[in-house]
Structure 1
Amino acid sequence: MNSNVNKIELSGIRKFSNKVAKIQGAISLTLGQPDFPVPKRIKEAMIEALEQGKTTYTSNAGLEQLRIEISKYLGSFGIEYDKDEICVTAGGSEALFTVFTTLIDRGEKVLIPTPAYPAYENCVKLVGGEVVNYKLNEDFSLNIGLLENAVKDSGSRYLLLSFPTNPTGAILEEKQLSELKELILKYDLTVITDEMYSALCYDEYHSIGQVKELKDRVIFIGGFSKIFSMTGLRLGYFCLNKGLMDDFMKVHQYNVSCATSISQYGAYVGLRECLNDVEYMKSQFIKRRDYVYNRLMDMGFEVELPKGAFYIFPSIKKFNLSSEEFCELLLEKKKVACVPGSAFGQGGEGFMRISYCYSTEELEKALDLIEEFINELEK
């Protein structure tokens, strides 16, 4: 067994999601799976691709017409990559793993925020790298001072960013861009920015990928799982300077050869014809966010208002239980599954993650039960 495998654990998100299936009548608020259907035109495009026999390999980098559309889409946000600087992958997860495998030598240090999506730390460990966590502000926004301290103390050359953020819904603020730019230049950093939730930013969207002077230092990761509610169709992408693409393509090529052909045809049509569907979905997520946030505030939780993605991360510290104990009890007593904050690293302990990409009816039922649960705990 590869010794690096022993350094990682199964996903804490999946751990609680899998428990729900074994409990009759349980409500899950665990997964980041939008409850909206895949847009109709995407489904039609995929069926057409099947009927026309478009089920063979595509180029390793993905369909040229899809890469052109991704380039146009990112360009609308001021992020400039041409089609030859884009590689289509089997989901954002493959993009992450390909990037870390290509970049990180054994023992090299990677700066990763805490709390954060658990795949970041585990991918780094799997390729033999060393994780260095940097802390965030109390509202989970980026703290440039704390980040600089982590850079200086660790000597790391690699920085992971992720906005909007899973599990907190924090975003990158405009005022932080210039400071972040100077920090990256000062310490000669390479940045991996995971922006899977960029289409679900509820305030103005800002990205380090928009800073043109940093293009040679930034690797941008995106995808279609969340934007088009097509999580099981496994389609993502990474973007980077054209001169580096051949080395990254080696890892991608030997890993998956290419992303699924019919998913690529669907995403191509999605970018051309279905962005209105995305705006509708986002409007509904904002309503759900506001409902969940207000309910949690009324219950007395300390909680930040998310500004993107579809997660909220209330503090449970006042209950004097670990996040795992709290979520285990909630599932046992009320049949509601949320994810313990500890699943997202050291900085997540004392919190739980609620996904509000479920229906309003499910959210109402779940929050009623959470309210009953904490009232019983406080007696």
Structure 2
Amino acid sequence: MSAHAHAFAPPAAGPDGLTDLVGLSLAELTEAVLALGEPRFRATQLWHWIYHRGATDFAAMTTLSKGFRAKLAERFLVGRPQVSTHQLSSDGTRKWLLRFADGNEAECVFIPEEDRGTLCVSSQVGCTLTCRFCHTGTQRLVRNLSPAEIVGQILLARDTLGEWPSPKEGRLLTNIVMMGMGEPLYNYENVAAALRLVTDPNGISLSKRRITLSTAGVVPAMRRCGEELGVNLAVSLHATNDAVRDEIVPLNRKYPIAELLQACRDYPGVHNARRITFEYVMLKDVNDSDAEAHALADLLADIPAKINLIPFNPWPGSPYLCSEPERIERFSDILFERGFSAPVRRPRGRDIQAACGQLKSASERKRKSEREAAPAA
């Protein structure tokens, strides 16, 4: 386990000292079941209730004996994060501010589209990185999220969408992107454990091809991610030269563009049918010129790549402005002419502060003003 996974560890037990079964692997769940004096197959039944049927109450797990259910209720729980705020946008986007057992908060966003429904999941409270255009980057890293807290976001979204038992067809939540608060590759072990639960065929059973992990470029962990998890990779690139990227994505000073792109070329399983997505936020007069569009095409010429152009979503105190719509379209046209798929991402949920980090900051400001307004004891 990496130093990052050990640091900022989440609480080990839930309320009343009960252990949360969410986040345990099947092997760990089996161990817990055997310790209660129950046969091994009970773990598979329990797994099915938690991840296929979405049950949170042991009393509802009717294929388990009453005695076993009573023993489970004495020692364990099947948890969900507490919802601090749940907002529904006029465009159907949902955003949750979730509070965990220790009072820390992170965000989760569901974005419905015609052909898919994507859940954007957080991996840390705050963020390890300080990308200057990202609102989460202004929030200090508090700690990593545990497998239970990562998977809990997905379970809670499915609770809200009414997707239990786990449907094979016609799902509303079809895709997961690890693009919420935090750098997933600086919490690799916990993220990996969570994604293994999500892709297990006997549980939530999402295809690895429907899961995308986004990184700002933690080069040493990228190959491991491809080899062990086999999920799609998205890279937050946002610049075509080290001078600009050093400024807006400070991690670039440790892993410059040349190293990052070599890691992309070496990413296991990447080919023309399974491309790497490069995220490129459009910042006015920073990275949006015709010359930079051509430079981006040159950089990615030998990498199976798709480019997502993201209109910058301004937040209070941001040092940047969004590029003009005509400039973004021109940038996209150049990339299409150069042979790349370069769609412009349609901004979603602006009326509910759906840009990552905005809702949490609003919550923190509210709590701070309430504390300051409270009379002294």
User: Which structure's relative contact order is higher, taking Cα pairs within 8 Å and 6+ residues apart?
Assistant: 1
Higher helix share: 1
The normalised TM-score by structure 1 is 0.29
Larger radius of gyration: 2
The normalised TM-score by structure 2 is 0.29
